[in-house]
Amino acid sequence: MSDTASATISTAPVMKFSHLGLVVNDLPKMERFYTGVLGFVLTDKGATGIGATMAFMTLDPDEHHQIFLVDGRPDEALPTSTIIPGSSAVLHHLSFRLGGLGDLRAMYDRLTNESDRPIKTATHGICWTMYTSDPEGNELEFFADSPWYCDQPFMKPMDFRIPEDELYNQTEEIVRMAPGFRPYADFHRDLDKQVPRDFPGAT
């Protein structure tokens, strides 16, 4: 191997995750969900030369698009995971961070009002989380950070309909007993040594 090739392999790339593309069956319906329910802003939309419509949308003013929808998903049911019943064969979930537990509970109400698709609510210790799906069955996660860390994977079902302080206290009690429990700030200090905080290309 040449010196240049080994340097390329051993040096971590300078990049940030930007967006995800989904092939969809009913583009107008999916666009309505991602913009109307989740609040994405449509930045562009148009057809390609071969007739595929593409919609670009974002929640981040620094990203032209974070979600990209393109039609062409087959009508028939797609294969599922070989291990997790009902889970998708490829895209496990798309995840969205909310500002806090109150915002997450507001999103729970919003999703409940929008459809009767099931919502699973839980804690991963490091966050409160809920799992549901978009109108075409792509799994979605919404979460809010907690001030704690515990070893992952960790998941305990929680009832999001109880008063917020009760939910907070119940969660803390559970997480404090979990393997690897420590304040999240401690975990973050260690992570900062491995993942640089500043993106060198940022303006």
Query: In the complex, which residues of this chain contact Fe ion (CB under 5 A)?
Result: 95, 141
Please say which residue, 45 or 117, places its beta carbon nearer to Fe ion: 117
* CA–CA gap between residue 22 and residue 118 (Å, rounded): 21
Least distance CB 45 / Fe ion (angstroms): 28
The CA-CA-CA angle for residues 31, 49, 33, to 5°, reads: 5
Report how far Cα 157 is from the mean position of its chain's Cα atoms: 18
Q: Would you call 203 helix, strand, or coil by DSSP?
A: coil
Please say which residue, 27 or 94, places its beta carbon nearer to Fe ion: 94
Please say which residue, 7 or 155, places its beta carbon nearer to Fe ion: 155
Least distance CB 126 / Fe ion (angstroms): 10
By Cβ distance, which residue is nearest to Fe ion? 95
Enclosing H/E stretch for 79: none
Least distance CB 92 / Fe ion (angstroms): 8
Please say which residue, 18 or 169, places its beta carbon nearer to Fe ion: 18
* CA–CA gap between residue 4 and residue 161 (Å, rounded): 57
* CA–CA gap between residue 198 and residue 175 (Å, rounded): 30
Least distance CB 84 / Fe ion (angstroms): 14
Please say which residue, 87 or 95, places its beta carbon nearer to Fe ion: 95
Tokens of residue 39, six digits: 């609040």
Least distance CB 93 / Fe ion (angstroms): 6
- Give the β-pairing of 139-145 and 94-97: parallel
